[in-house]
């Protein structure tokens, strides 16, 4: 496979829209900065934010309430400030719990991993539950009975800043399915994801790094799965029309035969198949779960929230299971298979739009 084509398969569709703040704070592309220094910085910032929100609560609560009365936007400012305070509180509680786990498991790696799995389930479900209650969301799920048995590869739609908590809340916690994640390195800005994410064999992909090395890291996640799974967001980033345009330009250069189906997507980006094909090659006898969801689009960016339209939304999750023997052989056929499935995901999202 040509190097240029490989880069198009794993790198982001929109380099200019990466969050510079996140990159600087998380040191996501600096290999010279030690994890200890990075975590010192991020934990300090999170603690400072929690202190400020807590100390200033007597001021921002009544002000946000008055703004809600006059804006008539479902008190979204007040709701979001409480969401942020809850987020930082859960983060700090999670870090204290993580430190405790390290203290009580100095040499027992398996016990440590087990405890961190339960901690991750608590962290993710607590955060999603808080967002769900504070924004008055309703949630329904179809196909939950198809999650087990393991091992499985999980390909999930990426649509919002809360996506990380969806598989933890609805797949891992209720079914005890331990997932290995393909994270983007920018998520190292979250200290809980950083600390817990390095206990399990997850992989933090550098979307600007060596394609060969990044795909090698992804491949290793599919080794010795046993009763676990690997989770990947094939789109790589959240949908915008700008990102879709850039993705289509890349697709025309390398796989013009896929452009017509990709152009038909209205809510999803064309999947970047590098990671998915790598996982399918590494685990050829493993079933795939395709996870679609709709209703979280209003949580795509912080700026999207201020209008208040996300309040009261119905979130629907759909899970399909594809047996390994139904997945075609060969990269060309599998690439088309993935794009066809993503058309089905896009149709699911469009059905309620």
The answer to whether the Cα torsion of 29, 35, 37, 41 is positive or negative is: positive
Give which of 179, 170, 172 is closest to 141, Cα–Cα. Answer: 170
| DSSP class of 168 | I
Give which of 129, 130, 105 is closest to 117, Cα–Cα. Answer: 105
The pTM for the full model equals 0.90
Q: CA 94 from chain center: how many Å?
A: 18
DSSP 77-118: HHHHHHHHHHHHHHHHHHHHHHHHHHHH-SS-HHHHHHHHHH
Distance CA 193, CA 181 (A): 11
Q: Where are the domains of the chain?
A: 3-350
Q: For residue 84, what are the CA distances in angstroms to 87, 91, 96, 121, 137?
A: 5, 11, 19, 19, 17
Residues 6+ apart with CB under 8 A from 231: 154, 156, 167, 179, 180, 181, 182
Predicted pLDDT of residue 163: 85
Predicted pLDDT of residue 16: 43
Predicted pLDDT of residue 145: 97
Predicted pLDDT of residue 49: 97
Distance CA 280, CA 273 (A): 10
Helix (H, G, I), strand (E, B) or coil at 329: coil
Residues 6+ apart with CB under 8 A from 336: 258, 328
Dihedral of CA atoms 60, 66, 68, 72 in degrees, nearest 10, equals -170
Predicted pLDDT of residue 20: 52
Summarised one tens digit per residue, pLDDT across range 290-321 is 999 999 887 766 667 777 788 999 999 999 99
Predicted pLDDT of residue 15: 42
Distance CA 250, CA 323 (A): 30
Predicted pLDDT of residue 298: 72
Distance CA 10, CA 209 (A): 10
B/e letters for 172-211, b = 16+ CB within 10 Å, e = fewer, are bbeeebbbbbbbbbbbbbbbbbbbbbebbbbbbbbbbeeb
| DSSP class of 33 | S
Q: List own/partner pairs for 165-168 with CB under 8 A and 24 or more apart.
A: 165/124, 165/125, 165/127, 165/128, 165/131, 166/128, 166/291, 166/293, 166/296, 166/317, 167/124, 167/231, 167/291, 168/120, 168/121, 168/123, 168/124, 168/125, 168/128
Neighbours of 213 (CB within 10 A): 11
Q: Which parts of the chain have pLDDT scores under 70?
A: 1-32, 300-303, 353
B/e letters for 298-316, b = 16+ CB within 10 Å, e = fewer, are bbbeeeebeebebbebebb
Predicted pLDDT of residue 199: 95
Bridge partners (DSSP) of residue 249 are none
Predicted pLDDT of residue 13: 41
Predicted pLDDT of residue 161: 83
Bridge partners (DSSP) of residue 183 are 204
């Amino acid at each position: 496979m040509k190097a240029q084509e490989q880069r198009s398969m794993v790198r982001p569709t929109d380099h200019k829209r990466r969050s510079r703040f996140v990159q600087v704070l998380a040191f996501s592309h600096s290999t010279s900065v030690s994890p200890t220094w990075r975590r010192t910085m991020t934990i300090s910032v999170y603690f400072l934010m929690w202190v400020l929100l807590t100390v200033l609560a007597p001021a921002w609560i009544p002000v946000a309430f008055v703004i809600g009365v006059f804006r008539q936007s479902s008190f979204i400012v007040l709701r979001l400030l409480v969401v942020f305070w809850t987020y930082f509180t859960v983060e700090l509680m999670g870090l204290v719990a993580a430190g405790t786990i390290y203290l009580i498991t100095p040499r027992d790696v398996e016990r440590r991993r087990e405890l961190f799995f339960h901690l991750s389930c608590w962290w993710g479900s607590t955060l999603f539950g808080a967002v769900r209650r504070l924004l008055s969301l309703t949630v329904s799920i179809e196909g939950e009975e198809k999650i087990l048995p393991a091992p499985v590869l999980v390909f999930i739609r990426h649509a919002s800043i809360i996506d990380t908590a969806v598989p933890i809340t609805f797949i891992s916690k209720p079914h005890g399915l331990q997932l290995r994640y393909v994270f983007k390195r920018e998520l190292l800005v979250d200290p809980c994801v950083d600390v817990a994410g390095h206990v399990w064999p997850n992989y933090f992909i550098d979307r600007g790094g060596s394609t060969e090395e990044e795909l090698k890291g992804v491949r290793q996640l599919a080794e010795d799965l046993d009763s676990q799974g690997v989770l990947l967001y094939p789109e790589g980033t959240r949908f915008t029309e700008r990102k879709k345009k850039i993705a289509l330009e890349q697709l025309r250069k390398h796989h013009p035969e896929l452009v017509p189906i990709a152009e038909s997507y209205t809510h999803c980006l064309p999947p970047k198949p590098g990671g998915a094909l790598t996982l399918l090659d590494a685990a050829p006898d493993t079933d795939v779960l395709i996870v679609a969801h709709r209703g979280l689009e209003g949580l795509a960016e912080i700026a999207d929230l201020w209008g208040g339209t996300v309040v009261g939304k119905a979130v629907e999750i759909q899970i399909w299971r594809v047996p390994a023997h139904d997945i075609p052989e060969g990269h060309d056929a599998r690439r088309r298979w993935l794009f066809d499935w993503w058309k089905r995901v896009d149709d699911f999202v469009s059905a309620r739009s």
